[in-house]
Every structure is written in structure tokens, then in C-alpha cells.
Amino acid sequence: MKPAPFIYHAPATLAECLQLLAQHNDEAAVLAGGQSLLPLMRFRLAQPAHLIAIRNIADDLRSIRNTDDGLAIGAGVTYIAVQRSAEARAACPGLVNAIELVAHPAVRTRGTICGNLCQADPASELPAIALIMEARFKLRSASGERVVAAKDYFLGPYMTARKSDEMLTEVVFPRRPSEEKVVIKEITRLRGGFPLAGVALALMRGKGSTSLSSVALACFGVNAKQIRVPEAEAALVSHGYTAAGIAAAADAIDRAIHPHADPFASVEYRRSATRTLFQRAIKEAHEEVSAQ
């Protein structure tokens, strides 16, 4: 299908882009890589009257920088640029590894990290990574700037805290401890397809062979939005890598998620799959940190 008619804008500066957003508000959409937005427009699930492309804006939006707050990724940075970045791999290796699960190389060449996070697809991996890594989102408008924590950014399916006159100009991932292990497990019908269920886990070992000093766990594809599961995290820190701790965490995950049914999977399947994915993820993460 063809998209509904729209007016195309290609501002040369960020200030001009923000002014266009202030002028058109809900009738405007920002175009970066277009790998999420354009398919929605072709199916007329999104019908912006004004399309604002950021491709001509200066390199400020295409930078990957190490800052005091962590790894800063601009709105124009593609998946593949992060995968190839030595700074990104040193600061957040779990993020780089997660990108490998996103779609296909052709999509990763054009699609952007910030575009994915603006889309807030409940089945996407990167919002879950942003949650367990406690990323921060820099939102700018013509009237100012604010920073929103990941836990407050994702509001629901395809819904974020970004206002209609704001643009996500940068996302910052805090630098990860060298002893941390991040594991993502998911089930898809086809390689590169959207997950039917998924779990993202980050952990660090404690002093004992089974103790865990920190755990961050998020689920995706099984809820209206990606969620962290604090009850499961607390159970693992309290009981450690033990049968009791893993069982308590799995039960907490089951209580936290609210999977949906569709032609590809039932509610029961998604619940069972999430439990299994969690068990595989924590086993792999614990084995790898034990080997360090």
C-alpha cells in the first residue's frame, strides 16, 4: 500500500527541526532510519501530515560518545554503527550483543537505536536492554530539554513519555561493570522476526559460589510494554543461584507478565516459554561469570 499524503521536511539544523515539531505537534513524525515508521505509513497505521527527516542535520545526532554519564548515542546513529563502535563495545558489550538479535543486516544498516526506542514496540529487545541498564533519554523541544529515566519512558504499547513537540536527541547507557554478564534469550518464528517471548538479564556474582551481588531482569513480548521484575531480582539476590532462588524468581516473573494470545502463540505458551527462557538465561549468565 501507499502511505497517506504528507508534506516532507528536511531541516538543516536541529533548531529548525524542533521548530517544525513545535509548529505541527501531533501531525508530525520524525524520520531517522525509517525501518519502523515507513512500514506503518504504508499500511496507514501511521498517517503523519508532516514528515520531518533528520538526515541533513549536522553530525551532532550521529555521534557515539563516552561521557561522564556513560555511552551517549545520538538520534541518527544506526544499529550497525553501534555494532562497529569500539567505544560501545567497551562501555556496553551487552547492548552491542543485543543488536545482533534485531531484524536483519539490511535493517540494521539503516535503522537507528533511538528510532527503535521511540517506537516502543512491546516485542522489541532494545527497550528491555534500556530498562536493565537504566538508560536515560534526552528529550529536546524548542522550549527546552529534559531527561527521562528508562523506567519512566515506556508507558505502553508504542507509547512513550516523549511529547509531540519533543525529539529524542540522545540516549545514554551507563558504563557497565567489567564483571557484569548480560544475556538475552528469545523465541521467534523466523530469524530476525519479532519475538513471541523474551528475557533480558544482567547479573554480577557475589563473594560465594552461588551468591549474586546484583541482578536486573526484564521481559519483552509478553506484556503491554517491556517490564522489569523487581520481585524476581530480589529473590535471586536473596537466595542466590540456587534452585529455591531460581524457582522464586520464575514464579515472580509469571505473576508480573500478562501475555496475549494471537495466531502464533497462546497465553499458556508465552508463559511457559518465558519461564524456560529465564532459566536458560540465568544458567548461561552464571556459568559465564563463574568462568571469568
pLDDT profile of the chain (292 residues), mean per 10: 93 96 96 92 94 87 95 97 97 96 93 96 96 98 98 96 97 96 95 92 93 97 97 98 98 98 97 98 92 74
**Are residue 165 and residue 198 in the same domain, yes or no?**
no
287 within some domain = yes
24 within some domain = yes
263 within some domain = yes
Angstrom CA distances, 82 to 8, 12, 110, 126, 170, stand at 28, 24, 12, 13, 13
**Are residue 213 and residue 234 in the same domain, yes or no?**
yes
**Are residue 118 and residue 24 in the same domain, yes or no?**
no
**Are residue 127 and residue 194 in the same domain, yes or no?**
no
Give the pLDDT score at 291.
Answer: 76
Domain tally for the chain? 3
For residue 140, give every residue at least 6 positions away whose Cβ sits within 8 Å of its Cβ, in sequence order, or none: 14, 18, 166, 167, 169
Give the pLDDT score at 32.
Answer: 94
**Are residue 191 and residue 278 in the same domain, yes or no?**
yes
Give the pLDDT score at 288.
Answer: 85
Please give the backbone phi and psi of residue 160, each rounded to the nearest 5 degrees, phi first.
-130, 175
**Are residue 196 and residue 213 in the same domain, yes or no?**
yes
End of a domain among 150, 173, 196? Answer: 173
**Are residue 64 and residue 158 in the same domain, yes or no?**
yes
pTM: 0.96
**Are residue 76 and residue 25 in the same domain, yes or no?**
no
**Are residue 105 and residue 167 in the same domain, yes or no?**
yes
1 within some domain = no
CATH number at residue 11: 3.30.43.10
Residue 223: which of 253, 264, 203 has the closest Cα?
253
Domain of 38, in residue numbers: 7-53
End of a domain among 145, 173, 201? Answer: 173
Residue 225: which of 273, 275, 159 has the closest Cα?
159
**Are residue 117 and residue 207 in the same domain, yes or no?**
no
End of a domain among 146, 173, 200? Answer: 173
* Neighbouring C-alpha atoms within 13 Å toward the C-beta of 263: 0
**Are residue 163 and residue 194 in the same domain, yes or no?**
no
Q: Which three cell numbers stand for residue 7?
A: 508534506
CATH number at residue 234: 3.30.390.50
27 within some domain = yes
20 within some domain = yes
2 within some domain = no
Give the pLDDT score at 175.
Answer: 97
**Are residue 49 and residue 65 in the same domain, yes or no?**
no
- d(CA 292, CA 290) in angstroms, rounded, equals 6
203 within some domain = yes
- d(CA 142, CA 14) in angstroms, rounded, equals 9
- d(CA 236, CA 249) in angstroms, rounded, equals 6
CATH number at residue 98: 3.30.465.10
Give the pLDDT score at 290.
Answer: 78
